[in-house]
Amino acid sequence: MAGPETAGPIDRGGGLAALPGNLMMWILIFSELAVFGVAFIGFAIARVLDPVTFATGQAHLNGTAGALNTMVLVTSGYLAARGVAAGRRGAMAPARRAMVTAAAVGSVFLAVKAMEYSATLGAGLTIDTDAFFTLYFLLTGFHALHVVLGIVILLLVSRSGPETMVENLETGAAFWHMVDLVWVILYPLVYLIR
């Protein structure tokens, strides 16, 4: 009989139980996706109602920083997936390292975002400037809070004991992939689509 250090994928059955990780995390993920979805629809409607303000606002954004942050989050998501794969193979030390590395790479996102905010605010563009910048700061700030939470979750699951490691890795990676997914939608919506 295999011990926890050599445990493979968890047999969950079908339906909702087949989702990797903890079911409560999936409920949170779907709730967060719904909130972001409503916010994205609101942003799109506001852009249709005031295209000049939104085009002017977008012209002030640093698209390179947004693209870099996309690469950072996708890379971090890949590392989290590698951590889950290692955990499923029973390779706990590599799984832990992958999650810590994913968190470290994720922190680069926050550094780039802080530099971007600093430049934007330094140019006199604030949450009160106009509708575009109100929504820009709200959407990207709310997402950045999720990045912080995701980093904390990745670090916490990297410290799991062998008996809960695989489920915790899957749970942490699921949240982190939600953070990735939201950015992959947010970046073109806010930075690129005119």
pLDDT in tens, 97-146: 999 999 999 999 999 999 999 999 999 999 999 999 999 999 999 999 99
Average pLDDT, the chain: 92
pLDDT, position 20: 76
pLDDT, position 2: 43
- Mean of the pLDDT values across residues 80-100? 97
List % helix, strand, coil for the chain (3-state, nearest 5). 80, 0, 20
Which range among 15-24, 29-38, 49-58 shows the weakest confidence by mean pLDDT? 15-24
pLDDT, position 22: 81
- Mean of the pLDDT values across residues 148-167? 94
The answer, yes or no, to whether residue 160 has pLDDT greater than 60, is yes
Which sequence spans correspond to the domains of the chain?
Answer: 22-192
pLDDT, position 14: 60
Task: Look up residue 114 and give its two tokens.
Answer: 């802080």
pLDDT, position 94: 97
pLDDT, position 194: 84
Q: How many CB atoms lie within 10 A of CB 34?
A: 10
Given a contact cutoff of 8 angstroms between Cβ atoms, the answer to whether 90 and 6 are in contact is yes
Architecture per CATH, domain 22-192, reads as Up-down Bundle (1.20)
The Cα 194–Cα 185 span in angstroms is 14
Q: Where residue 12 falls among pLDDT bands split at 50, 70, 90?
A: low
